[in-house]
Amino acid sequence: MISPSKRTNQVSQTEDRRPKTEDGSSKKRLSSADRPPAAGRADLPRPLCGIIPPMVTPLRDRDTLDEAGLERLLEHILAGGVHGLFILGTTGEAPSLSYRLRQELIERTCRQVNGRLPVLVGITDTAFVESVRIAGMAAEAGAAAVVLAPPYYFAASQKELLEYLGHLVPQLPLPLFLYNAPTHTKVVYEVETVRRAAELPAIVGLKDSSANMIYFQRLLTQFRDRSDFTLLVGPEELLGECTLLGGCGGVSGGANLYPQLYVQLYEAARSRDLDRLAVLQQQIMRISNGIYCLGSSGSSYLRGLKCALSILGICDDFLAEPFQRFEPPERALVAQALRGVGLLDGPEAQPCRSKP
C-alpha cells in the first residue's frame, strides 16, 4: 500500500516531466476550463471535393508555434480559394510534435478558420487512446473530421487493421478519413480493406499518398456507386490525372505556397480543359523539381516547402528534429525556383527565420 507522502512525491515527479520550453520552464496542458470556446464548425460535404492543403506547422523552436506565421499562413491559404484544410498530417510533421503543441495548433487553427471551410485533423498515433483523445480535442475545437493512417512501427495485417478500425471508430466524435501512406507506415490499406471499412457509416473517405495509379484506379472502380465517398490524392504531381479519372481532388502540399495554382488545376481538370491543364501541370512540376527535390534525404520536400514559405515572408522555416532548415546555397536555389513560377521578384521579401 502506498502512503500519502509517497503518493505526493509520485505526483510531484510526474509534474516535473511536463513538456518544457526552450528556456526550461514548464508548459502546462490546457484544461477544459482554460480552453477557448469552440470555433464555428463548417459542414462537411459528402463527398469533399477540391483542394485540401495539408498545412505545414510553423515552428519557432522544438516546442513553440510561430504564432504570427500560423496566422499569416492560414489567411494566405484561405485567400487562394481552397475547399478545406488538413492539419497534423505528414506535411504538418505531426509525429514529431508534442501532444501539447498539437492541441495548441488544433485550437488556434479552428478558432481562426471559424467555420469558413472544413478543418480535418490528423489523429494517427501508435497509441489507441491518444488517437481518441486528439479526436476529442478536434471535435471540441470545431474541426469537421479526423484523418487516420495505420499505426506505424508495428506493421498490422489487414485483419488487424479492420479490427482496429472496428474498435476505434465508435469512440470517435467526428467522421473519419482513412490515410494511405505506405512509405511512412509500412502498411497499405488494401482495396478490399477499404471497402469493408467503408461499411462503417463514420468512415467517409480516403486520402491516397502511395503514388500508385493502379491502386487509385482500383479504388475508383470499387467506389463508383458510392457518390458520397471521398477519394483524394496526395502527390500533387498526380492531381490532374486523378481528377480527370474521377477523383475528388487533392491534398496538395504546394497549396501552402501557391493555393491558387492548385485550385486552378483542379478546376481545369473538372471542366476537362486539357490545354489549360497542361500549362498548369508544367507549373506544378517546376515547383516539384525546383523546391521539393533539393538533396537526397527524405526530408527534402519539407525542407524545401518550409524554406519557400520563409523566403516569401509567410512563416518560419524551423523544422522539428531531427530535420534542419536549408543552408544558404539551397536557400538560394529555392528562391530561384520561386522566381521561376512567378512567386518572387528580386530578393527575399522580409524572410521569416528564427535564430539557429
Instruction: State the virtual CA torsion across 320, 324, 329, 335 in degrees, nearest 10.
Output: 0
Any idea how long the chain is? Answer: 356
**Number of neighbours of residue 155 by Cβ within 10 angstroms:** 12
Q: Provide the pLDDT for residue 183.
A: 86
Nearest to 253 by CA among 306, 197, 332, 317: 306
Q: Provide the pLDDT for residue 347.
A: 67
DSSP annotation of 237: G
Nearest to 260 by CA among 342, 352, 350, 144: 342
Question: Could you list the active site residues?
Answer: 179, 207
Distance CA 117, CA 139 (A): 15
Q: Which amino acid is at 109?
A: T
Residue 120 above 90 pLDDT? yes
Largest pairwise CA distance in the chain: 77
Cis peptide before 322 (omega within 30 of 0): yes
Is residue 119 within 8 A of residue 113, CB to CB? The reply is: yes
For the beta sheet containing 145-148, the strands, ordered from the edge strand earlier in sequence to the opposite edge, are 50-51, 249-250, 230-233, 203-208, 176-180, 145-148, 119-122, 85-87
Q: Provide the pLDDT for residue 138.
A: 98
225-248 average pLDDT score? 97
pLDDT, tens digit, 9 for 90 and up, residues 274-306: 999 999 999 999 999 999 999 878 889 999 999
Instruction: Give ∠ CA 249-250-255 in degrees, rounded to 5.
Output: 125
What confidence category does residue 19 fall into, taking pLDDT thresholds of 50, 70 and 90?
very low
Distance CA 291, CA 35 (A): 38
Q: Provide the pLDDT for residue 209.
A: 95
Nearest to 179 by CA among 347, 52, 21, 320: 52
pLDDT, tens digit, 9 for 90 and up, residues 2-13: 343 443 343 333
DSSP string, 148-187: EPPPSSSPPPHHHHHHHHHHHGGG-SS-EEEEE-HHHHS-
Q: Give residue for cell 479526436.
A: 135
Residue 266 above 60 pLDDT? yes
Buried b (16+ CB within 10 A) or exposed e, 252-278: bbbbbbbbebbbbbbbbbeeeeeeebe
Q: Which amino acid is at 235?
A: P
- With a CB cutoff of 8 Å and minimum separation 6, the contacts of 229 are 47, 198, 204, 205, 206, 223
pLDDT, tens digit, 9 for 90 and up, residues 141-192: 999 999 999 998 888 999 999 999 999 999 999 999 999 998 888 898 999 9
pLDDT, tens digit, 9 for 90 and up, residues 37-95: 455 899 999 999 999 999 999 999 999 999 999 999 999 999 999 999 999 999 999 99
Give strand ranges (E) for 226-296: 230-233, 249-250
Question: Could you tell me the domains of the chain?
Answer: 46-280 (3.20.20.70)
